[in-house]
Structure 1
Amino acid sequence: MSEMEVTEGRLLSQDFGVGGPPVDSGKTPDILAAEIRTIKSQTGRMVLNASIEVGRRLTEAKSKLPHGSWGEYLRNEVDYSPSQAQNLMRVFREYGSDQQSLFGGEAKSQTFGRLTFSQALSLLVIPDEDEREKFVLENDVEHMSVRELNEALKARDEAEEKAAAAEDEARGLRQETERLREELADQAQVYKAKLTAADVETTEANRKAREAQEALDKQREKAQRLQDALSEANTSAQAAEGEHARLTQELEELRNRPAEADTAAVEAARQAAIAEMTEKVDKAKDAKEKAEEKRKAAEESLEAAQKELADLKAKGPEVRELTQEEKDALTAEAVERIKAENAERMQALEKQLSKADPDTTTLMVLFKGWQETYAKMQETLRRIEAADRDKAQRLRGGIRKALETTLEQMT
């Protein structure tokens, strides 16, 4: 082996750690491992920047090729498969800067510029550029392996799915809450209408009761007047009967009085007296008959009035005016009946309303998702620690700092 080859190998080993024959640099294996990791990181960034520029040129070439010739161009000119070319063009579109360079291209963001090609490609599952950059910064993606990155992305997707599901559930709960509120408002209107109808029925019943009571009072007054008239008719009839009996007796006595033969004048006077008494008896008889007719008419009227009064009294319990206690009892009974008809449904609605706290539900779901993500992070850190203790310590420090910042924001 020539001296030039040995010198070149030594220089390559010193500068890059590769190439040339084995040279003892005097470094420990740990130092060599750290240098290897640094070179790998630098190489990965170089690959990403180179991939961006390759993707830029592939994009331009495709726009200038005839339709249908793209696959042949990839095979014959650049030795890429369609999927490889597609990934390179995607990396250019998402990470490439506007400045074109033949060598040493760079990403549009320093955050992305520290990534490897594989990391950058995996991160494309996050479509929004700002969200993607935020994820890189919050999770120290630069120091993750591709496997660790994919696990973190999977955990993020699961957390977002759970958050979306929680939001859907919260939205459904809010809609259900609104529906229940509207239903309760409708029920309240129904109750109000029923109570109003009950008040109307009570008012109408009271009006009818007052009218019936007035009719009853009038009928009682009429019956009393007829009773008084009947009493008067009985008195008149008895008086007429007595007068008729007295006159009849006087007439009979006058007729049976012995005739006096002394003079014709006396006989003429007696006959005149008999005629006068007969006329009085006839008038008394007429008065007696009229009084009897009047008494009978009064009895018939009184009987009819008493019957009508009895009918009104029979209806009295149905139409009488309600007392205040009865009104209160009727209202309470109506309310209780309405409540009883809807008690079970109201309880169910209130139970749903008590659970329908969308913000709390969302928070609980997100907290549960965070707990699961934290557990996965701990498991990942243990695996990293088994392979690289220093790296695990750095990651723990970053996570601790992020948690402390979060806790400060919550206070």
Structure 2
Amino acid sequence: MSELVRSAQVIAAEIRSIDAQTREIVLRSAIEIGKRLNEAKALVPHGEWGAWLETNVNYSQSTANNFMRVAEEYKDSQTLGNLSYSQAVALLGVPAEEREQFAAEVDAENLSTRELQQAIKEKKQLEKELKKIQQAAEKDRKAREELAERVSQLQIELADAKIAGDAEQAQKLQEALAEAQVKVKQLEKELRAKPIDVPAVVEKIPEEVEKELAELRKKVAQPGNETAIKFKVQFEALGAGFRDLLATLAEIQGADPDMHEKYRGAVLGLIGKMSDTLR
């Protein structure tokens, strides 16, 4: 009977199987070693850990730290799969809550350790750039808010000055308002021109920024805005004056009831005329 000759494909499949088993054995062994190192460190006197490692297991502190971290970080993890020990150590550079998803996204078990380290490095660099963009966006948002508040305050002060007949102050406020409006336009221009260099980020102003800019432009550009603020100031002054008038009438009523009725009638007459005018 002739000897059965196995195909190269069968041999390759056996090699892959042995390799996977070896990976798992090595990683599981590393986890078990790490557990025992953590146990031992809790018993060794403070300051003697390095000497204990050298004497008893001949590990450097960095090697021991890797074993202990792997044991701690992967004790309840589903990330392991067919990872090698060196891949598992590399993935310690990814936060625990992100590790499993990241490993799946980059197909970690099919990358070399060097390729995996490079993928982690690129991830951290991207996160760093995104953080810078977020900080810049927050700074721009605060600048827009402060500018919008400044414009609104100037418009109110300008309305007050015109109501009071203070032409000189009104002129100063008008100039300050015009300057603030120029800054609004400049800020908008800068936002639109600002480049975004991070890969996978759409190079356009986010929708919420566009909306905010539109509101800001509407607030500072509408010709009727100043009149609306003027009305608000005058309406509030009218209400405050009426409340003061009622308080004074109450004081008069306590001192001179007859005079109170006279003044009360005068107020009612004025309110009637005002009401007729608005009809």
In structure 1, C-alpha distance between the alignment counterparts of 2:32 and 2:173, rounded to whole Å: 78
Q: Report the residue type matching 1:27 in the other structure.
A: S
1:151 aligns with 2:131: no
In structure 2, C-alpha distance between the alignment counterparts of 1:350 and 1:142, rounded to whole Å: 52
Q: With structure 2 as the length reference, what TM-score do the two structures score?
A: 0.61
Quote the residue 1:351 is aligned against.
186
1:42 aligns with 2:21: yes
Cα deviation for residue 346 of structure 1 reads 1.8
**Structure 1 residues 344, 181: closer, same or farther in 2, change over 3 A?**
closer
Gaps in structure 2 of 5+ consecutive residues: 203-279
**Structure 1 residues 190, 56: closer, same or farther in 2, change over 3 A?**
same
Quote the residue 1:369 is aligned against.
199
1:80 aligns with 2:59: yes
**Structure 1 residues 87, 338: closer, same or farther in 2, change over 3 A?**
closer
Aligned mate of 2:162, from 188, 195, 200: 195
Mapping of residues 2-401 of structure 1, within 5 Å: 26-28=6-8, 32-96=11-75, 108-127=76-95, 129-198=96-165, 339=174, 342-353=177-188, 365=196, 368-370=198-200
**Structure 1 residues 344, 78: closer, same or farther in 2, change over 3 A?**
same
In structure 2, C-alpha distance between the alignment counterparts of 1:355 and 1:63, rounded to whole Å: 58
Query: What are the superposed Cα offsets for residues 208-244 of structure 1, whole Å, 9 maximum, x if unpaired?
Result: xxxxxxxxxxxxxxxxxxxxxxxxxxxxxxxxxxxxx
* Residues 151 and 177 in structure 2, CA contact (< 8 A), matched pair in contact too: no
Cα deviation for residue 65 of structure 1 reads 2.0
Structure that is richer in helix per residue: 1
Gaps in structure 1 of 5+ consecutive residues: 1-23, 97-107, 202-333, 373-411
* Residues 33 and 67 in structure 2, CA contact (< 8 A), matched pair in contact too: yes
Q: Report the residue type matching 1:114 in the other structure.
A: N
In structure 1, C-alpha distance between the alignment counterparts of 2:196 and 2:31, rounded to whole Å: 40
Query: What are the superposed Cα offsets for residues 140-163 of structure 1, whole Å, 9 maximum, x if unpaired?
Result: 112111111111111111111111
SS across alignment from 2:80: helix
Q: Report the residue type matching 2:134 in the other structure.
A: E
**Structure 1 residues 338, 90: closer, same or farther in 2, change over 3 A?**
closer
In structure 2, C-alpha distance between the alignment counterparts of 1:192 and 1:36, rounded to whole Å: 85
* Residues 24 and 82 in structure 2, CA contact (< 8 A), matched pair in contact too: yes
Cα deviation for residue 110 of structure 1 reads 3.2
In structure 1, C-alpha distance between the alignment counterparts of 2:34 and 2:190, rounded to whole Å: 54
**Structure 1 residues 42, 370: closer, same or farther in 2, change over 3 A?**
farther
Query: What are the superposed Cα offsets for residues 88-138 of structure 1, whole Å, 9 maximum, x if unpaired?
Result: 011111112xxxxxxxxxxx23332432111111111123x2211111122
Query: Which one has more relative contact order, counting CA pairs under 8 Å at least 6 apart?
Result: 1
* Residues 53 and 60 in structure 2, CA contact (< 8 A), matched pair in contact too: yes
In structure 2, C-alpha distance between the alignment counterparts of 1:337 and 1:60, rounded to whole Å: 75
In structure 1, C-alpha distance between the alignment counterparts of 2:114 and 2:5, rounded to whole Å: 33
In structure 2, C-alpha distance between the alignment counterparts of 1:35 and 1:135, rounded to whole Å: 29
**Structure 1 residues 42, 190: closer, same or farther in 2, change over 3 A?**
same
**Structure 1 residues 95, 195: closer, same or farther in 2, change over 3 A?**
same
Q: Which has the larger radius of gyration?
A: 1
SS across alignment from 1:110: coil
In structure 2, C-alpha distance between the alignment counterparts of 1:88 and 1:25, rounded to whole Å: 43
